[in-house]
Structure 1
Amino acid sequence: MSNLGALILAAGQSRRFGSDKREAQLPSGESVITATVRQACNHFDSVCVVLRSIDQAVAEMLTQLGPDINVTHAPMAHLGMGHSLAHGIDQVRDWSGAAICLADMPFHRAETLSALTRQFGQTSLPSPIIVPMHEGQSGHPVIFHRNHFDALSKLEGDQGARRVIEGNTDHLIKIELEDPGIVQDIDQPEDL
């Protein structure tokens, strides 16, 4: 049985934003992180959120959203996204695939997440990496088959998963989507 989960990276420092952007309010009234987690819960079998070790209040708030939300604290998150991603992957080794979601990207359309999960389930390509594209630009979430988890678990510093993607082009499936939300993140308050 397939267990495709969403691994939400939420352990950043929000330096450019000026305050904790995860708690910033969207026009809908939800916080950025709440919107991202709710979307993931609606489209994936499992959800795991990677936080900093100091994020106890955020962890408590997230667990109140639903019983199926797992929270983990990356002890080396301050060293960069690679450490957070590697830590998260080590928590979800039993998943068949992981959609790497960024907490500051809550603007995906529901159809986009459905299309990505459907592609993962239907592809005949072994060990796929599914990359959403918008107007030729790659976006998030990127879905990795579990056979790439070892490589992802070795990331460190500010390395994202790009190196793993570039080293596995024969497993790559790019899907062009009419969804600017896959490339739209929140770096500054005006991005809300």
Structure 2
Amino acid sequence: MGMPTVLVLASGRGERFVASGGTGSKLQALLAGKPVLERTLEAVRASGLPWHLEDAGHPGMGDSIAAAVAATRSAYGWLVLPGDLPLIRPDTLVQVAKAIEDHVVVLPVYGGQRGHPVGFSIECRDALMGLAGPDGAAHVVRAYSRMKLAYHLQVDDPGTVADVDTVADLQDAERLLRS
């Protein structure tokens, strides 16, 4: 069996970033001299996993996930990774991908906080392709959690929870990158 495909979601409007004083797209904001999205993509490429960039400007995260899964419907599963997680480590992506072999849904957890990428096995394909709206795959995760089919994978990667939504988040990411 092959490895799942990383779905990099880059369709959001970044309204919180602008509201916090940022200018332009948060994904193009510079983090230590490189755009946030480029840092995320570097980690994805370094993981060696297949990947797909979904940047078509969908109205909600659910719509973005549905479009990305439809575009990669023959994949062996999916890792949903928002493009605003520039500190994610390649080995964490591989760790989640490997866990999908034994679990339907994989939720990485760092320091007691759930993060990304969330992994989905091929069993979730139809549910993911039916998503729409702003809540992403939250109801799919809840449904599989109720069935005791969601696995909480403990990871040692602060990048799983270090998303850049505001200017303060960008500054925090700079500090984490330097440490």
TM range (shorter): 0.7 to 0.9
Q: Which residue of 160, 163, 183 maps to 2:161?
A: 183
Give yes or no for contact 2:109–2:155 (8 Å, CA) kept in 1: yes
What is the aligned partner in structure 2 of residue 57 from structure 1? none
- Matches of 1:88 and 1:21, distance apart in 2: 21
Structure 1 residue 178, shift from structure 2 partner = 2.3
Structure 1 residue 45, shift from structure 2 partner = 2.9
Structure 1 residue 168, shift from structure 2 partner = 1.0
Q: Which residue of 70, 87, 101 maps to 2:67?
A: 87
Are 1:37 and 2:36 an aligned pair? no
Give yes or no for contact 2:80–2:118 (8 Å, CA) kept in 1: yes
What is the aligned partner in structure 2 of residue 140 from structure 1? 116
Structure 2: gaps spanning 5 or more residues: 19-23, 171-179
- Matches of 2:169 and 2:114, distance apart in 1: 19
Count of paired positions = 163
- Please report the TM-score for the alignment, with normalisation by the length of structure 1: 0.79
Compare 90-99 and 175-184 and name the one that shifted more: 175-184
- Matches of 1:166 and 1:6, distance apart in 2: 21
Structure 1: gaps spanning 5 or more residues: 54-76
Q: Which residue of 89, 94, 97 maps to 1:109?
A: 89
- Matches of 1:31 and 1:44, distance apart in 2: 21
- Matches of 1:152 and 1:4, distance apart in 2: 14
> Hey, which bits of structure 1, 4+ residues long, moved more than 4 A?
none
What is the aligned partner in structure 1 of residue 107 from structure 2? 131
Q: Which residue of 40, 46, 50 maps to 2:50?
A: 46
Q: How many percent identity over aligned positions? A: 30
- Please report the TM-score for the alignment, with normalisation by the length of structure 2: 0.84
Counterpart of 1:83 in 2: which secondary structure?
helix
Counterpart of 2:119 in 1: which secondary structure?
strand
* Aligned Cα root-mean-square deviation (Å): 1.5
- Matches of 1:101 and 1:152, distance apart in 2: 14
Structure 1 residue 133, shift from structure 2 partner = 0.4
Structure 1 residue 110, shift from structure 2 partner = 3.2
Structure 1 residue 44, shift from structure 2 partner = 4.4
Give yes or no for contact 2:9–2:53 (8 Å, CA) kept in 1: yes
